[in-house]
Amino acid sequence: MTFANGMVVREPIVDIDDAARRLVYSAVGGMSTHYNASMQVFSEGDGRCRLVWIIDLLPHALALTVSALVEQATDVMKKTLEA
């Protein structure tokens, strides 16, 4: 994965569950000592859905950096899906 700030991190897929509409991946390299994340899509009815993105990482000091990257990514996903 290449981020908007130029940082590159390998993110191997751990599991894909099509029935649950869930993707689990980890991150290898970069600054974290532990990184595991999942994305799951839930139906909200009327053609709407909700994406839940959970990230577990260490050290906690990276939380603000990762949070900013997540905000950028969710903005891009929202614009792309609404187009």
CB 10 within 8 A of CB 27: yes
pLDDT, position 3:
77
pLDDT, position 35:
96
Mean pLDDT by 10 residues, the chain (83 residues): 82 97 93 95 93 96 91 91 89
pLDDT, position 39:
97
Q: What's the CA gap between 58 and 50, in Å, rounded?
A: 26
CB 37 within 8 A of CB 54: yes
